[in-house]
Amino acid sequence: MHHRNFNLLSWVMIAGLSLGGVLAQQVPAQQVPDILISYPETILYNGKVITVDDRLSRVQALAIRDGKFLMVGSNSEVLKLAGPQTRQIDLQGKSVIPGLIDTHLHQVHLEESKKPRMGGVRLSLSLKDKESGMQELKKIVELFEPGEWVGVKGSRNKVYYTLTRHDLDSVTPQNPVFIVNSSQEVVANSLALKMARLPEDTPGLMRDPETGEPTGLLTRWAAGIITYEHTPWPDIEEVIPRQIAELKKYNSVGLTTIAAKVAGLAFSVYKEIWKQGELTIRLRLAHEFLRQNPNAEAYLKRLGSFDDFGDELLKIVGATVHPVDGASGDGASLTFEPQIRQRPTDPFGSYGEIKWSKGEDWDEADKTRTEAYNIILANRYGWSVTSMHSQGDRGSNILLKTYLQAHREKSIKGRRFGIDHGLMQTPENIQLMKDLEVIPSVAAKYLFIGTPDNLIYRYGADRVYGMTPVRTLIQAGLKPAAEADVSIPYGAPLWNLEKFVTRADESGRVWNSSESVDRMTALTMYTKWAARYSGDEDIIGSIEVGKLADLVVLDGDFDAVPDDQISELPIVYTLMGGKFVFDRAVDPVAAPPASTGE
């Protein structure tokens, strides 16, 4: 009996399906409601689509619907999907690559806010000598109303470190004023020190050894309080249009995603751009709220964890703290071996600069007042730590050993802890990255913008020869992401990609070809491996069905162009989520790098 009921039900279902098929044939396709059928918005065909999938496939065409790749395949397969409103673009043999991703780009640092009355004056000092520097400062401060806070950028040289609050007081009596250099060290005048209300025991509040009075020089937490809490907050609405225009410049060089560290102002600006629907680049942001913060645990408890919070356009991917060391260009990279020579203006010792208190001996210090402990706390409260500047091999070692200490309390594996720049490394550092699953982000600029003559002067040609060891990282089993660490024009991904392949500086010298990579590896560093850096490998980084439709169309054959001409491939279109965010025919193009070679 049960068997007869089953058969009867089956016949009823079959009859219903048959009747439905007949009715469907009687209804013209154009009368089917839009809610039931959706054609692709865009089809690109007759090209070379370099997918960067696991097989590094090449196909002819792709279709995009609802911001994602609907189909990737042959011309005949893809063109069948076209509807009456589908935009069809004949690539005529052009190459298509995934949207390019930069994992450490200065673009997200906001431009200086220029008030109309200031006439566009740049708020920075050359500091060639103390007297001329103070006269420059006086002219800048005169542009502000009495009582306004004034933050000015200084130059990182010996003159800067001779300044005291009394020097600033002589030309800035009515305004709280501070001069900050690239490492967030600050010289403040007396009024700024008074208004900042720094606690007497604030680490980094430097004092005269004889009088005990503050000198005006602030480092570490004291510098952080001034720069983060007293830097003037501009009108965000005035900043937004400039930042939207800057993002468009980066679309013109093929960028669809940027990862970088941001402070509160930058995050607020980008949040507003995101709310307005004007973001043309995906942003993966490491927040600086723990950088130079003497009350890290209190902030973490108040804020909670926003790690990996956001959407496909705007996402927080972690927190960042103050870097361990400085830059190689002025001899501030912290190294195990000393520099062979220094320049007269260098303010640091021959081993470079350590910005962290106690360095690798942080566990012997007051844990609540160390940069390394802020990393421990971040991990404890559920934050990844990323966008960490580290250039010297000893600086990297200190950072990685801090990650190891954090890991012993709570595993950091698989949580996208990052270490950026990768100029100098040691076998121990590379092994620590591998063991802890730390993701390295590597820059080309240090060796290849201009010529590395400054590095040769400081470190010697043999040490320069071993810098930026990209292939060594890969052979060790790591998957380094690519970064520019500099704005346009040298922020263009194709320029940096070319340098990873050729390792030629702009005078034509090749630095250690054994560390070069082939172009597909370099492209993978700027796409699939870069997506891993922010935990986005499942949605971006390759051209595959279901992933977000981020891509770049190149006017040429990416596979065939000579190595030293990769950067010259013109970009025709950049698409982000299927939207045309750059069209060479109508949008302005960022200027290419000007050669500094002979």
pLDDT of residue 348: 84
**Cis link prior to 294 (omega < 30° from 0)?**
no
H or E element at residue 202: none
- pTM of this prediction? 0.90
pLDDT of residue 549: 98
Answer yes or no: are the C-beta atoms of 51 and 58 closer than 8 Å: yes
Q: How many CA atoms lie within 13 A of 493 on its CB side?
A: 33
Q: Please determine, for residue 370, whether its predicted confidence score (pLDDT) is greater than 60.
A: yes
| Separation between Cα atoms, residue 102 and residue 375, nearest integer Å | 24
pLDDT of residue 427: 97
pLDDT of residue 32: 61
pLDDT tier, 379 (very low <50, low <70, confident <90, very high otherwise): very high
Residues 6+ apart with CB under 8 A from 372: 356, 362, 398, 402, 405
pLDDT of residue 548: 98
Q: Please determine, for residue 194, whether its predicted confidence score (pLDDT) is greater than 90.
A: yes
Pick 10 or 465 by higher pLDDT: 465
pLDDT of residue 592: 79
| Separation between Cα atoms, residue 104 and residue 449, nearest integer Å | 16
Pick 140 or 5 by higher pLDDT: 140
Q: SS3 of 440, please?
A: strand
pLDDT of residue 440: 98
pLDDT of residue 220: 85
Cα torsion 340, 345, 347, 353: sign? negative
- Per cent of the chain over pLDDT 70 is 88
Structure tokens at 421: 């720049």
Taking residues 1-22, report their average pLDDT.
42
Please write down the long-range contacts of 585-590, taking CB distance under 8 Å and 24 or more positions apart.
Answer: 587/248, 587/251, 587/252, 588/248, 588/249, 588/252, 589/252, 590/249, 590/250, 590/252, 590/253, 590/488, 590/489, 590/492
Query: What are the tens digits of pLDDT across the range 307-316?
Result: 999 999 999 9
Q: Please determine, for residue 200, whether its predicted confidence score (pLDDT) is greater than 60.
A: yes
Q: SS3 of 556, please?
A: coil
Q: Please determine, for residue 118, whether its predicted confidence score (pLDDT) is greater than 50.
A: no
Answer yes or no: are the C-beta atoms of 96 and 559 closer than 8 Å: no
Q: Please determine, for residue 8, whether its predicted confidence score (pLDDT) is greater than 50.
A: no
For the beta sheet containing 389-390, the strands, ordered from the edge strand earlier in sequence to the opposite edge, are 389-390, 418-421, 439-443, 481-483
Average pLDDT in the chain: 88
Q: SS3 of 376, please?
A: helix
Between strands 95-98 and 48-50, the pairing is parallel
Taking residues 420-430, report their average pLDDT.
96
pLDDT tier, 230 (very low <50, low <70, confident <90, very high otherwise): confident
Ordered domains of the chain (ranges, CATH): 2-93 (2.30.40.10), 115-229 (3.10.310), 236-583 (3.20.20.140)
pLDDT of residue 569: 98
Residue 454 to residues 146, 181, 340: CA-CA distances in angstroms? Answer: 43, 20, 12
pLDDT of residue 17: 41
Cα-Cα-Cα-Cα torsion 467, 472, 473, 477, nearest 10 degrees, comes to 180
Taking residues 162-189, report their average pLDDT.
90
Residues 6+ apart with CB under 8 A from 258: 101, 102, 105, 107, 108, 250, 281, 282, 283, 284
